[in-house]
Structure 1
């Protein structure tokens, strides 16, 4: 969970959230550059790249686009659920696909990625779906893959998109009781 006891709100994203979501991506990009992780998304701020801006605009328009904001309305994270990305194998059963999960480097956002993945589990259960998948950067130190594994996801397959190493992971809710709460 977050380091403070201040309540955080998960709500549906709208087109008005695009600048704040881009700001979170830019913040993460600056951190990636600082730690030498340009392999994941490059080194340019997302807000400076028209293709990335369009990706965020499209994502925020999806019906399962969610954002998290603090008590002051500052956006701290985004979660986009939907259909599988076109570069991964098609699903063999109904699923919820985690298309985007990004969280601010702000201390108030600490632990929010895990909370949002629990929220995704809850959305899957509400939809009567037992399977979730996600893809992520499979290069670098492997820390991102390990994060998803620590959240109950298992490696399915690796892939490459124009030399970018990816990892596809999945999670089944079939044999699990009601997990963590969606409240943050």
Structure 2
């Protein structure tokens, strides 16, 4: 049985996606990990991204319960200055009770497959530079650190840029 069944998110999924995100934000904050600011993304933003076809959800095979989500976008000039020939993963989140089960790896595998089918040569993502555990995880998933991006506006933290050739 697969770890997860992946499909494009539907409008009815937005609240479940946001609930996963909120749980992850709380978990990160409880460990003093700077990755996402609690409650920085409103439901209206998730609704809009789902309507634009950006969100993918992972369902628990036995129950069809949403246990993972991520955005796949085809351009990311806010973070990447050379955003061509790549698919970008944002907001990968899993149900914390399923950590260590291969769920995140399965979602990233789906992202790689989606990018390959689209004829794209690279999968890219970023994370807070200070989040050493997540940086290490992405490296174990086959991503290579290719740079860093600092933001002068003080609104965002510095991020490490990762890329995986497909």
- TM-score, normalized by length of structure 1? 0.78
- The equivalent of 2:95 in structure 1 is 104
- Pick the aligned partner of 1:57 from 47, 67, 82: 47
- The equivalent of 1:181 in structure 2 is none
Runs of 5+ unmatched residues, structure 1: 174-184
Q: How big is the alpha-carbon RMSD for the aligned residues of Structure 1 and Structure 2? A: 2.2
- The equivalent of 2:77 in structure 1 is 86
Aligned residues: 162
Instruction: Say whether the 8 Å CA contact 2:3–2:103 is kept in structure 1.
Output: no
Report which of the two structures shows the higher radius of gyration computed on alpha carbons. 1
- The equivalent of 2:145 in structure 1 is 155
Which whole-Å CA distance do the structure 1 matches of 2:97 and 2:147 have between them? 32
Instruction: Say whether the 8 Å CA contact 1:81–1:99 is kept in structure 2.
Output: yes
How big is each residue's C-alpha offset from its partner over 1:51-80, in whole Å with a ceiling of 9 and x where there is no partner?
Answer: 432332232223342101122232100021
Q: Secondary structure at the match of 1:106?
A: helix
**RCO comparison, higher one (Cα < 8 Å, 6+):** 1
Residue range with higher mean Cα deviation, 127-136 or 82-91: 82-91
Q: Give the drift of 1:108.
A: 7.2
Listed as ranges, the matches of 1:106-125 within 5 Å are 106-107=97-98, 110-125=101-116
Runs of 5+ unmatched residues, structure 2: none
Instruction: Say whether the 8 Å CA contact 1:13–1:60 is kept in structure 2.
Output: yes
Q: Secondary structure at the match of 1:40?
A: coil
- Judged with a 3 Å threshold, the aligned counterparts in structure 2 of structure 1 residues 7 and 89 are, in CA distance, closer, same or farther, namely closer
Q: Secondary structure at the match of 1:156?
A: strand
Q: Give the drift of 1:130.
A: 1.5
